[in-house]
Amino acid sequence: MSVSDRILQVGAELSFECNRLINQFECAHVYNPLDYAWDVYADYVRKYANSQKRVLFMGMNPGPWGMAQNGVPFGEISAVQNWLKLKGTIRKPIDEHPKRPIQGWDCPRSEVSGRRFWGMLEDHFENSQSFFQHAWVVNYCPLLFLEESGRNLTPDKVKGHAIDEALAHASNHLEHVVDILDPEVVVGVGRWAQKQARKTLANFNGHIETLLHPSPASPAANRGWARQAKEQLVKMGLNEFGDK
């Protein structure tokens, strides 16, 4: 079985387990883009997860205007279409919030975190293949959680047994991804992601690092995130992110 087929297999298993829990979470709405946007995620995997990688970037969970819309981590629509050049059918989630519709390729909103993340890479690398030759990007938890108001809930704010089960499945998925891709460095985008990586990968022989999260909710990220991110990556020994 190829590397990409193995990644798709463990992704499908994670999606199945999350769907089994979907009505048990203590929040108003839960979206699983690995289900309704599987076509695009599968295109992402087949195109870019077709070999082992030196670096694994790991985010927290989908944003409402990013991965929730198309199944790709930090999935800012323009970047996914124009830089990653991905395609696929995007359906609707099981229980859609009227204030957070899934419009897929027609979504008019831009996810700032994704625009900053993929924008930094697009500015730095000749093309997407140059970046993915040695790297891969995944989200730890594949689910988006919403309050009744439509406000986004991060996984650490969700209560109850279902989130504990979901994160256990997320950790199992991460272990499989690391086993398949065999990275030297796992980079948690944000401290929560790094914390989950450290808890999950206790026996990992490589380095587990953290990168400043590009979210506009972070004051530090609003002071030149791309420049700071490159500096942090170079300090990790990832010299391919240094000045050309």
* Location of structure tokens 């999260």: 213
Compute the C-alpha angle 55/61/66, nearest 5°.
95
Return the pLDDT at 61.
98
Domain ranges of the chain: 3-241
191-200 helix and 161-181 helix, angle to the nearest 10 degrees? 80
Q: For residue 54, how far is the Cα from the chain centroid?
A: 17
Q: Which of 100, 117, 149 is nearest to 218 (CA)?
A: 117
Confidence at residue 91, expressed as pLDDT on a 0 to 100 scale = 98
What is the model's pLDDT at position 115? 97
Q: Write down the H helix ranges in the chain.
A: 3-21, 33-36, 38-48, 67-70, 77-78, 112-124, 128-132, 161-181, 191-200, 225-235
State the burial class of residue 242 (Cβ atoms within 10 Å of its Cβ: 0-12, 13-18, 19+).
Answer: exposed
CA 150 to centroid of chain Cα atoms: 21
State pLDDT tens for residues 82-124: 999 999 999 999 889 999 999 999 999 999 999 999 999 999 9
- Say what the pLDDT of residue 244 is: 62
Q: What is the pTM of this model?
A: 0.97
Give the pLDDT score at 243.
Answer: 75
Residue 223 main-chain phi, psi, to 5 deg: -115, 60
CATH superfamily of 3-241: Uracil-DNA glycosylase-like domain (3.40.470.10)
Report the relative pairing of strands 55-59 and 29-31 from DSSP bridges.
Answer: unpaired
Residue 43: CB atoms within 10 A of its CB come to 19
| Residues of the chain where predicted confidence (pLDDT) is lower than 50 | none
